[in-house]
Amino acid sequence: MQVVDVDGSLCLNPFDCLRAIHIIQSVFVKELTKAYKPFSSKVFRFFLSVDGVKVVTGVSGDSELSSSSGGIGSDGEINTHAAGGDIDPAGEPQRAVSVPPRRGGKTFLELFPQLFLFPLLIVIVLVLVYVFFGAIAADNRGVGDLLRDIRIGGGHSRQQDAHALAKLLVRKQEQREDPYLNGDETRELIQLVENAASGEDELRGYLVLALGRSGQPDLSVPFLLDLLAQKDLAEDLRQETIYGLGLSGNSKAILPLLDEIERQGGEHSWQSRAFAIASVVNILVRDNPGKERPLADDPRVGVVVQKLKPQVNDSRREISWNTAFLLAMYFGDDSGEMILRDMLSWDFLGEQRGDNDNALTPAQKEAWMCQALEGLYSLRGGGLKDVLEEKKSDRNMRVRNVAMRLLGKLEKKT
């Protein structure tokens, strides 16, 4: 066999022939590498072994591309190391594998159930569960049903039913469904109060409030007055009884409530006195509806005012300040005017201390100042204009709103 060297001459030396063959192979591999650019060409992957050198081609940027010692180095030169890792245990070279291009992302229709449909179904289920349990929790029992359950029930359930009855009568009163109870229902309610055990004071309190809203004062008021006359009556139940008498709106309760205002009792007796003051005023207002100052012409006003005036100087702020407001607001009496003017100062309110030397909360300060504005306006009218002009720029939004509303009332009068 004749072998021609690269310069065209005939090779006679075997070593020269081998060298020529090796040069030819090297040139062939370099040209092949330049032509296909294996790490950037978009062709399928395959393996080419030439004289122990492995060349790898594949999709550009594919994470599965191999750059093992048997491939092409990062400088583009051929790595002449043997690719021993590509030979299986039997000594045979691994076969080329074709890898399909990777699939792109999911379409909108494929993602819609996952992103929208399933969350929507979850929300619908939660709403249905909420509505279902709300319907279960709703109490649709009438007065007769509640009275029966209180009568035959036991333990804590009786107290819950009595509370539900009191709330039901509040709704009936707001909707002006008068009378709220008939005579038989009122008598049964009285019987339940009488039969309640001595330890069921909270149950009796709810029942007493229901009696006050019964709309049957001829039946309820005498019973409540007898209850109030008991000397050993628990203080909490006394307060509920006083409040029930005020809710009845019956004038027969006025004198007993005025006596209650002056009663001296235990540590919490001031609360009963405060309830008595508010209840007396409530009864008088209900008897004289629709007037700007409804109590001006009531013959009972003189007696009530004489009982209320000393309470302005009470050591208990809740009694003193509320009485000053009520006297100004409903009776046109200025016995507590100086107190009301002091209450218009944030510094004054900030210095006040209550039980356990606690300061007033921001909500309490706000409520007292608004109440003082209402009382002073009812007492002085246009004479309070300068104060209202100042308070319409107050730091507290609720105080500003009250001041602007009262200024609007003044403008309408003029």
Q: pLDDT per residue over 200-224, tens digit each? A: 888 888 999 999 988 899 999 999 9
The Cα–Cα gap between 131 and 117 comes to 21
3-state secondary structure of 180: coil
Pair 71, 8 in one domain: yes
Please determine, for residue 114, whether its predicted confidence score (pLDDT) is greater than 90. no
Q: Is residue 47 part of a domain?
A: yes
Pair 149, 243 in one domain: yes
Q: Is residue 403 part of a domain?
A: no
Pair 143, 240 in one domain: yes
Please determine, for residue 285, whether its predicted confidence score (pLDDT) is greater than 50. yes
pLDDT tens readout for residues 22-39: 666 565 556 555 555 544
- Give the type of residue at 145: D
Q: Is residue 180 part of a domain?
A: yes
Q: What is the pLDDT of residue 278?
A: 93
Pair 81, 151 in one domain: no
Pull the structure tokens for residue 308. 């209320």
Contact 29, 50 (CB under 8 A): yes
Q: Tokens 């090297």 correspond to what residue?
A: 26
Pair 76, 166 in one domain: no
Q: For 183-213, give one letter per residue: b (16+ CB within 10 A) or e.
A: eebbebbbebbeebeeebebbbbbbbbbbbb
Q: Give the pLDDT mean for 60-85.
A: 45
Residue 189 CB contacts under 8 Å (≥ 6 apart), including other chains: 147, 181, 207, 210, 211, 214
Residue 106 or residue 136, greater confidence: 106
Q: Pick from 36, 40, 43, 75: which is nearest to 61 by CA?
A: 40
Give the helix/strand (H/E) hosting 57: strand 53-57
Q: What is the pLDDT of residue 269?
A: 82
Q: Is residue 175 part of a domain?
A: yes
Pair 152, 238 in one domain: yes
Pull the structure tokens for residue 245. 């008498």
DSSP category for residue 359: B
Pair 77, 151 in one domain: no
pLDDT tens readout for residues 358-407: 899 999 999 999 999 999 999 999 999 999 999 999 999 999 999 999 99
Q: What share of the chain is helix, strand, coil (3-state, %, to 5)?
A: 60, 5, 35
Residue 333 or residue 34, greater confidence: 333
Average pLDDT, the chain: 78
Question: What residue numbers bound the domain in which 55 lies?
Answer: 3-85
Q: Is residue 253 part of a domain?
A: no
Pull the structure tokens for residue 190. 């009285």
The listed range with the strongest mean pLDDT (52-56, 120-124, 322-326) is 322-326
Contact 295, 317 (CB under 8 A): no
Number of domains in the chain: 2
Instruction: Point out the least confidently predicted range of 57-66, 223-232, 291-300, 334-343.
Output: 57-66
Among residues 194, 214, 248, which one ends one of the domains?
248
Please determine, for residue 312, whether its predicted confidence score (pLDDT) is greater than 60. yes
Q: Is residue 75 part of a domain?
A: yes
CATH of residue 234: 1.25.10.10
Among residues 188, 217, 248, which one ends one of the domains?
248
Among residues 248, 265, 286, which one ends one of the domains?
248
Q: Is residue 223 part of a domain?
A: yes
Q: Is residue 378 part of a domain?
A: no
Q: Give the pLDDT mean for 252-260.
A: 92
